[in-house]
Structure 1
Amino acid sequence: MSEDILGYRGKRVVVMGCFSGTGEACARQLVALGAEVHGADIRPSPVAGLASFNSVDLKDPASIAAGIAAIGGEIDGLFNISGLPQTFPGEDVVTVNFLGIRQWTDGWLPRMRRGGAIVTVSSLGGMNYLARQPLLAEFLGNADIAAGRAWYLANAERAGDPYTLSKEAVNTWTQKSAPGLMERDIRINCTMPSPIDTPMLNDFRKVAGDAVLSAFARAKGRFSSPEEQALPLILLNSDAASFISGVCLAVDAGLSGGLATGVLNLQEMIAEAMAKA
């Protein structure tokens, strides 16, 4: 077996969202693994060794198209790591977290080599996606950013929390896309992280409160580090995962498994965290 089991040496990859947090950690590790890494974000990336960096606003279709054209060429891997919390306007949250990511990905698909792979960061906040398929089908049925934003604004009340909606959409889109993309030998997966110790955690704290965040950190007793979320992304897009596609991978130290099987009870964990506060 090759020592380069992940197979990134000499591969050409794009990391959307490499300004900070998981995306920054991912880009740094990919550079270290010998990949040709092209970064994109709305803010400049501090990662040394990038082959290029382009400023891209995922709310703006023209910016998305310009970013793809500026990087150009063919790629082997696409990492979609950008995201907004609920402290931003709902229509921007669903755009950056899903609608813009989908358009960005669609723009890269004609440039993706056979054997290529796509991975997107979703969230445990989207883990109830299978129970909301009729509504999500409506949302995903909007072909572009403008139509998707209009749908959200017209349906915000029944759609609920925009962050949850956007992550449920990522999970659904990932699994719906997998069979068709596999016909072209392209894989697509996503991860569902538990809370991560990044600057965005403060935004989630404002929305959810300390008790809820503490409950979601219960399985491990702490929040995840950016590196602990970056490495599973790298694995899913690597040669080592060549037979994995259409997976929504929980990266949460066993939390979602405990909740699904009844070993853990979220409401009890929140109550316990509130009692300790």
Structure 2
Amino acid sequence: MSDILGYKGKRVIVSGCFSGMGEATAKLLLSLGAEVHGFDFKDVDLPLASFNKVDLRDPATIEAGVAAVGGKIDALFNCAGLPGGGGFHPLDTMKVNFLGTRHLTEQVVPLMADKGAIISIASTGGLGWSRRIPVHMQLLQTQGFQDGLAWCEANLDQVAEGYAFSKEAVIVWTQFMGAQLIKKGIRINCSLPSPTQTPMMATFHATSGKDVVDAAAEPLGRYTTPEEQAGPLVLINSDLAGVVNGIVLPVDGGFMGGLATGQVDISKMMGGAKRQS
């Protein structure tokens, strides 16, 4: 089979490769002949080119991990994340889902040449981004991990439980950076998965409620698999998608379309949000 996606011999980094979507992404990239370098907080049992223990809450480990990989990087897959609903401290959720992800990306970009590609996992839980663009632009104006964290600490009313705001931030940041990085020949995009059967699902059920999570799985009527989410990530970062840039890609079995056309009952999800508050 021809290497239509263009990954053979490419050097890629996958964060969050221990389980879930990140693990599925790393496995798919390995099968396509990529040289895969993994980052995670937990040790990984995959035949990677290298593995570095990285905690996205700690910028020093991010910098050490990127330095250890070194050389040219062709693609970055930001798959690490924490669930919401109060399962983790809001600032930890912000650090992993946005601040650490942004810091990792900023460390990798100088190692990318023309035709570099970045994709991050956001969420349908970040759909409120368009109502808070001015707030998110304040966060995007911060420089570096610590400056961003200080902004979050000063704006805990906006951060709230952390998950929705962090995913909104990924969405706005992706669109903002798309217009910046493309001038260097580097693309950046993000995906919006619907509920996916990963180890985090138990936390989502416990903190947000199964009914709320199930409502976000319509009209597909089931949770997606990590493999179903990994495929679009790999496609968007591939040579085949060479001018796809700054997009927010729903990977949700029709949830966004159903929502836009009134076929998804959003009140169940809103009800769950009200119970948490």
Q: TM-score, normalised by structure 1?
A: 0.93
User: Which amino acid in 2 is paired with 1:13?
Assistant: V
Residue aligning to 1:65 = 63
1:99 equivalent to 2:99? Answer yes
- Is the 8 Å Cα contact of residues 90 and 159 (structure 2) preserved in structure 1? no
Q: Deviations over 1:124-172 (max 9, x none)?
A: 0112211110111122222122222222222112333311111111001
Distance 1:158 1:180 in 2: 26
What's the CA shift for 1:236?
Answer: 0.5
Residue aligning to 2:275 = none
What's the CA shift for 1:263?
Answer: 2.6
Distance 1:215 1:138, change over 3 A: same
Residue aligning to 1:127 = 127
Residue aligning to 2:257 = 257
Distance 1:108 1:139 in 2: 20
User: Which amino acid in 1 is paired with 2:162?
Assistant: P
1:246 equivalent to 2:246? Answer yes
Unaligned runs of 5+ in 2: 272-277
Distance 2:175 2:231 in 1: 21
Distance 1:158 1:77, change over 3 A: closer
What's the CA shift for 1:206?
Answer: 1.4
- Is the 8 Å Cα contact of residues 90 and 162 (structure 2) preserved in structure 1? yes
User: Which amino acid in 2 is paired with 1:216?
Assistant: A
Between the aligned residues of both structures, percent identity stands at 49
Residue aligning to 1:41 = 40
Distance 1:91 1:245 in 2: 29
Residue aligning to 1:24 = 23
Q: 1:45-56 to 2 correspondence within 5 Å?
A: 45-47=44-46, 49-56=47-54
Distance 1:110 1:255 in 2: 36
- Is the 8 Å Cα contact of residues 37 and 50 (structure 1) preserved in structure 2? yes
- Is the 8 Å Cα contact of residues 58 and 64 (structure 1) preserved in structure 2? yes
What's the CA shift for 1:218?
Answer: 2.2
3-state SS of paired residue (1:98): helix
What's the CA shift for 1:72?
Answer: 0.8
Distance 1:158 1:61 in 2: 23
Aligned-residue CA RMSD in angstroms? 1.5
- Is the 8 Å Cα contact of residues 135 and 159 (structure 1) preserved in structure 2? no
User: Which amino acid in 1 is paired with 2:190?
Assistant: C
Distance 1:158 1:62 in 2: 27
User: Which amino acid in 1 is paired with 2:42?
Assistant: R
What's the CA shift for 1:53?
Answer: 0.4
Q: TM-score, normalised by structure 2?
A: 0.93
- Is the 8 Å Cα contact of residues 159 and 166 (structure 2) preserved in structure 1? no
- Is the 8 Å Cα contact of residues 211 and 270 (structure 1) preserved in structure 2? no
Q: 1:74 aligns with which of 72, 75, 79?
A: 72
3-state SS of paired residue (2:203): helix
3-state SS of paired residue (2:93): helix
3-state SS of paired residue (1:192): strand
Residue aligning to 2:81 = 83
Residue aligning to 1:212 = 212
User: Which amino acid in 2 is paired with 1:238?
Assistant: S
3-state SS of paired residue (2:74): strand
What's the CA shift for 1:64?
Answer: 0.9
- Is the 8 Å Cα contact of residues 12 and 75 (structure 1) preserved in structure 2? yes
3-state SS of paired residue (2:177): helix
3-state SS of paired residue (2:36): strand
- Is the 8 Å Cα contact of residues 40 and 53 (structure 1) preserved in structure 2? yes
3-state SS of paired residue (2:116): strand
Single out whichever of 245-254 and 150-159 deviates more from structure 2. Answer: 150-159
1:160 equivalent to 2:155? Answer no
Distance 2:269 2:153 in 1: 34
Distance 1:62 1:25 in 2: 27
Distance 1:158 1:101 in 2: 19
Distance 2:151 2:216 in 1: 31
How many residues matched? 269
Residue aligning to 1:143 = 143
Q: Deviations over 1:32-67 (max 9, x none)?
A: 0000101111111122x2100000111111111100
Q: Deviations over 1:163-197 (max 9, x none)?
A: 11111110011010111211111110000101110
3-state SS of paired residue (1:75): coil
